[in-house]
């Protein structure tokens, strides 16, 4: 089997060319892969910050952790060693070190050679697009109902992701600046209590089978990422296996309809508001439209994380950050209009993405990892209780 050369430590810190500021999304992807990172620091190319003011912001959650230095780097990491059963231990250790190092600093990485076939990704995106084209009355029949179940269709404007802390504050933000997106949430098919909401087979043929197969593939990848994190932190390689093996995850299909650019220029508005994710890690699969932005925790500058062909984005969630006593960083991000829009463009293109929100087992007690540094910052909490609280605050 042919192997892709491992990414060297030096190349992880390679600079994105200054000309990349003016590239199209496709050209930027090529430049980013070549440099193996998207960076901002003294001497590194900086993307123009969003004009969004940082005054008058809602109170921030403490679980989105913050840094002490000025450098910020989203590396492209070759994950082949964790996917290949024949990989040498030294290769696995080196890849794991890179993953853990990146999650300690930026909290975000791109993974290439992740093992999910391109054909499967295309089929999943195709079926997602078919679903969102259904009449609204059919989609509303499958509506999201309960934060513990966290399943079903979420219409545009119903969810407002944010770092605000109270249900009342979130409701006010939802009323003023709703998220310009719709989604479909798919949970564990074998849950004895909570059942998934599925369209009829005649409405979207092969939708159910496609999504269940993709859930399984994403779950297997998530366990490999957790294995790399465990090794990188000095834990036993299988430390997270029995704590995250019940597939208590959410597969979220996302559609961002075309919207007038003026709506996204309003203070506080976004296709998806600034937020950190709730669980352990998130696997993000996105089309080539772009719009994802990550907040540099040192400068509060918004850095675009454009799609890079052949990669997926992986980021740390609040529960894993809490589990690690904040050694791993849960970083705030959002979805705005893509920065590749021309000044004459009045409408944003429609955008599709698929987020696989990975969670520990429902009854897993989240308490400080044995390798964590310093005294525990957080009380122990059951994963299910924590996630239910966060979700109940988010939805109308």
Measured between alpha carbons, how far is 227 from 302 in angstroms, rounded to an integer?
30
Counting residues of the chain whose pLDDT is more than 90, the rounded percentage is 58
- Whole-number Å distance between alpha carbons of 231 and 226: 9
Print the SS3 string covering 333-370: EEECCCCCCCCCCCECCCEEEEEEEECCCCCCEECCCC
Short-list 278, 287, 274, 242, CA closest to 357: 278
* pLDDT reading at 162 higher than 60: no
Residue 352 is predicted with a pLDDT of 95
Q: pTM here?
A: 0.79
Average pLDDT, the chain: 81
What are the tens digits of pLDDT across the range 284-305?
Answer: 999 999 889 999 988 999 999 9
Whether the pLDDT of residue 346 is over 70: the answer is yes
Vertex 208 angle, CA 203 and 209, to 5°: 125
Q: Which two tokens stand for residue 332?
A: 């705030």
Alpha helices (H) in the chain, listed in sequence order: 9-12, 25-35, 80-83, 89-105, 118-132, 136-141, 167-176, 207-232, 318-323, 383-394
The predicted structure's pLDDT at residue 133: 97
Indicate whether 145 pLDDT > 70. yes
Task: Point out the least confidently predicted range of 97-106, 142-151, 190-199, 336-345.
Answer: 336-345
pLDDT band at 228 (very low <50, low <70, confident <90, very high): very high
- Return the closest-CA partner of residue 297 out of 108, 152, 159, 120: 108
Write down the pLDDT at residue 37: 64
Of 41-55, 140-154, 216-230, 325-339, least confident by mean pLDDT is: 41-55
Alpha-carbon span 50 to 264, nearest angstrom: 11
Which residues neighbour 117 within 8 Å (Cβ) at sequence distance 6 or greater? Answer: none
User: Which tops the pLDDT comparison, 339 or 358?
Assistant: 358
Interior/surface letters 254-291, b for 16+ CB within 10 angstroms, e for the rest: bbbeebeeeebeeeebbbbbbbbbbbbbbbbbbebbbb
Please list the residues that pair with 154 across neighbouring strands.
Answer: 183
**Gap between the Cα atoms of 380 and 231, Å rounded:** 23
Alpha-carbon separation of residue 359 from 88, 141, 161, 271, 337 (angstroms): 29, 27, 18, 24, 29
pLDDT for res 49:
32
Q: What is the mean predicted confidence (pLDDT) over 208-235?
A: 98
Query: 290 near 357, Cβ under 8 Å?
Result: no
The phi and psi torsions of 237 (rounded to 5 degrees) equal -55, -35
Eight-class DSSP state of 133:
T
3-state helix, strand, coil in the chain (%, to 5): 30, 20, 50
Given this model, what pLDDT does residue 261 score?
74
Residue 14 above 70 pLDDT? no
């Amino acid at each position: 089997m042919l192997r892709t050369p491992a990414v060297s430590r030096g190349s992880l810190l390679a600079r994105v060319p200054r000309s990349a500021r003016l590239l199209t999304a496709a050209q930027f992807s090529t430049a980013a892969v070549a440099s193996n990172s998207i960076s901002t620091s003294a001497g590194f190319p900086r993307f123009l910050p969003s004009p969004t003011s940082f005054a008058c912001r809602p109170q921030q959650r403490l679980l989105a952790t913050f840094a002490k230095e000025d450098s910020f780097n989203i590396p492209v990491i070759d994950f082949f060693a964790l996917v290949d059963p024949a990989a040498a231990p030294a290769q696995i250790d080196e890849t794991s070190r890179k993953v853990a190092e990146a999650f300690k600093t930026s909290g975000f990485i791109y993974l290439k050679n992740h093992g999910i076939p391109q054909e499967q990704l295309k089929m999943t995106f195709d079926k997602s697009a078919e679903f969102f084209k259904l009449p609204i009355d059919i989609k509303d029949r499958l509506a999201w109902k309960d934060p513990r179940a966290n399943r079903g269709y979420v219409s545009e404007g119903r969810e407002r992701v944010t770092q605000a802390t109270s249900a009342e504050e979130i409701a006010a933000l939802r009323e003023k600046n709703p998220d310009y997106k719709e989604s479909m949430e798919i949970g564990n098919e074998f849950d004895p209590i909570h059942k998934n909401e599925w369209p009829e087979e005649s409405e979207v043929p092969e939708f159910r089978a496609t999504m269940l197969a993709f859930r399984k593939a994403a779950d297997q990848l998530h366990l490999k990422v957790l294995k790399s994190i465990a090794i990188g932190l000095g834990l036993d390689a299988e430390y997270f296996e029995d704590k995250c093996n019940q597939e208590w995850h959410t597969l979220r299909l996302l559609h961002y309809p075309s919207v007038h650019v003026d709506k996204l220029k309003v203070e506080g508005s976004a296709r998806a508001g600034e937020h950190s994710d709730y669980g352990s890690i998130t696997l993000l699969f996105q089309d080539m439209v772009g719009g994802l932005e990550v907040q540099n925790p040192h400068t509060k500058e918004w850095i675009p994380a454009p799609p890079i062909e052949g990669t997926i984005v992986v980021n740390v969630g609040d529960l894993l950050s809490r589990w690690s006593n904040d050694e791993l960083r849960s970083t705030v991000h959002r979805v705005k209009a893509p920065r590749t829009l021309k000044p004459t463009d009045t409408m944003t293109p429609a955008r599709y993405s698929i987020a696989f929100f990975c969670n520990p087992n429902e009854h897993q007690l989240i308490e400080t990892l044995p390798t964590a540094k310093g005294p525990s910052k957080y009380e122990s909490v059951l994963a299910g209780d924590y996630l239910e609280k966060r979700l109940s605050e988010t939805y109308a």
